[in-house]
Amino acid sequence: MAELISREGNKVQFRVAVPAAEVNRAYEQVWAGLARDVRVPGFRPGKAPRKVLEGRVGKGYVENEVRDRLLQAHYPQAVRELKLSLVDAQIEPGSLASGQSFDFTVRGETYPEVTLGDWRGAQLTAAAPEITDEVLERTLSDLQERNATFQTVERPIEATDQVTIEELGEEGGSYPVYLDVAEPHVRDALIGKNVGDEVEITVPAHQHGDHEHPAHTVRVRVQGVQTKQLQELNDEFAKSLNFDSLDRLRTELRAELERRARQEGDAARREEFINHLVDGMQADIPQALLDRRREAMLEEIRDDLGRQGVKWGEYEGFMREQGKLDEFMADLAKNAESRVKRDLALEKLAEDLGVRVSDAEFNQTMNALAQANSLTPQQLQSQLGPEGLNSYYISLTREKALQQALTQLGGAGQTQATPAQTQQDGVAQADDGQETAEAAQDGVTTDGEATADGTTTEPSVSAQQAEAGAEASTSQPETQTGEQAGERNAE
């Protein structure tokens, strides 16, 4: 049971009382887990006395496990019961003992007061791209290109050839260059040359990632020339992609393109509506809230760099040397402010619509998210912790409100994925695993780089990852181009 103690402005304090029966149940669950998992010499599994088990795991271990279990269950439940949206919270647990009730006190800070404009009159203009016959044929042509074969020829290099070149120098190496997608300076230098020729490629000054490269020359030797052989668009081609016929390939390919177009249209309408909400919102946002979000995003970037083997101090030093650190931090602050405003607008939308996520809905999505991450629900709760669970609940509420509002405005957002859903492929894939409809996505890719907007790739479940409304993304495998002929040597 949760009891509100005080609420002044956006400061709030409440107390939660957990009945003794639930405390005893948590103790029994922890002891049962220890009996199952801890092996004690001389005792059969599950038969060791509790005193012996306690000696194996250390004094206080059981109490800590019980306390964490109770907080994970009752903190988010109390927040929902009191209808609070906490920005930050400090939990002060009371004493814990078997057979007695357990109390804990929470001091937190709620979101500021927010007023939305008249969003019900919003006129959304974003729509799904039209999948025309031209788009379908262009996608089929892309399939031809990606399933092309190459045959060795003995003649001068032509504009659509694949050329194997060897960089000359201490750090040289061999790799293919596809001239139809190569940089102009590479293509112009190689066309007309023959196997065995040594060629100087003048690379103009350019920026690659965070590196500034001056103009320079790379010397290469032509090792091989292969001409592209496209398969004819017929039933045999379709069968090579695991379709019964070319007509079947066209039908399913169009269906997949239309599905993705609907997703793109829904995503565009969502973004347009959220921007409308933010533009019409009035709120006095505390600087502390902005600072916390900025620090959280920066921590995500640090973690992402660490997984790539890059220390933040080194990355920060490099940006400072390049004169880009101030710009990076300014972008980070700007994106943090944007995210906070979006969260506040969606939270107020949920409040205005009276949207609530029931315990059954919450548990169902938690179970699905745990399964998607190959975890048990208890493991997921432990990873997220009380704060993460509360963040997850809030994100589910925001998403539910967003879907409801879009439906009122015209039935959009029905194809959006929930966080526990995985992206579904509607068309069978070719043997190389490339997606058949990628060409229609105009090169949309998902990057894992550390950027000031905090977009990173999280391999484990975190509070940030447990956000509702995760949108399906389309990734496209990179094609090595002739641009690398200068970049590899320059780096």
Tens of pLDDT, residue by residue over 59-85, are 678 888 889 989 988 998 899 889 887
Final residue in a domain of this structure, among 229, 262, 287: 229
- Mean pLDDT is highest, among 428-442, 448-462, 474-488, for 448-462
Mean pLDDT of the chain: 80
For residues 127 and 267, what is the distance between their CA atoms, to the nearest angstrom?
9
Domain assignment present for 487: no
Domain assignment present for 456: no
Domain assignment present for 332: yes
Note the pLDDT tens digit of each residue in 217-228: 889 999 999 998
Full 3-state SS string of the chain? CEEEEEEECCEEEEEEEECHHHHHHHHHHHHHHHHHHCCCCCCCCCCCCHHHHHHHHCCCHHHHHHHHHHHHHHHHHHHHHCCCCEEEEEEEECCCCCCCCEEEEEEEEECCCEECCCHHHCCCCCCCCCCCHHHHHHHHHHHHHHCCEEEECCCCCCCCCEEEEEECCCCCCEEEEEHHHCCHHHHHHHCCCCCCCEEEEEECCEEECCEEECCEEEEEEEEEEEEEECCCCCHHHHHHCCCCCHHHHHHHHHHHHHHHHHHHHHHHHHHHHHHHHHHCCEECCCHHHHHHHHHHHHHHHHHHHHHCCCCHHHHHHHHHHCCCHHHHHHHHHHHHHHHHHHHHHHHHHHHHHCCCCCHHHHHHHHHHHHHHCCCCHHHHHHHHHHHHHHHHHHHHHHHHHHHHHHHHHHCCCCCCCCCCCCCCCCCCCCCCCCCCCHHHHCCCCCCCCCCCCCCCCCCCCCCCCCCCCCCCCCCCCCCCCCCHHHHHHHC
| Region 442-462 average pLDDT | 37
Least confident of 189-198, 289-298, 433-442, 443-452: 433-442
Residues 80 and 164 in one domain: no
What percent of the chain clears pLDDT 90, i.e. is strictly above it? 47
Residues 378 and 263 in one domain: yes
Residues 351 and 252 in one domain: yes
| Region 148-158 average pLDDT | 92
Domain assignment present for 142: no
Residues 282 and 426 in one domain: yes
Residues 220 and 259 in one domain: no
Domain assignment present for 479: no
Residues 322 and 199 in one domain: no
Residue 186 has pLDDT above 90, yes or no: yes
Domain assignment present for 235: no
pLDDT at 87: 73
Residues 170 and 33 in one domain: no
Domain assignment present for 469: no
pLDDT at 476: 30
Residues 319 and 218 in one domain: no
Final residue in a domain of this structure, among 422, 441, 460: 441
For residues 294 and 479, what is the distance between their CA atoms, to the nearest angstrom?
35
pLDDT at 74: 92
Q: In the chain, how many domains are there?
A: 3
| Region 465-488 average pLDDT | 35
C-alpha torsion sign, points 207, 208, 213, 219 = negative
The answer to whether 283 and 351 are in contact (CB under 8 A) is no
Residues 207 and 295 in one domain: no
| Domain span at 434 | 120-130+244-441
The answer for residues whose C-beta is within 8 angstroms of residue 106's C-beta and 6 or more apart is 13, 14, 15, 16, 75, 78, 89, 90, 91, 92
Final residue in a domain of this structure, among 204, 229, 254: 229
Residues 37 and 164 in one domain: no
Residues 252 and 350 in one domain: yes
Domain assignment present for 37: yes
Residue 264 banded pLDDT, cuts 50, 70, 90: very high
Residues 276 and 404 in one domain: yes
CA separation, residue 78 to residues 13, 15, 23, 82, 112 (Å): 12, 9, 16, 6, 20
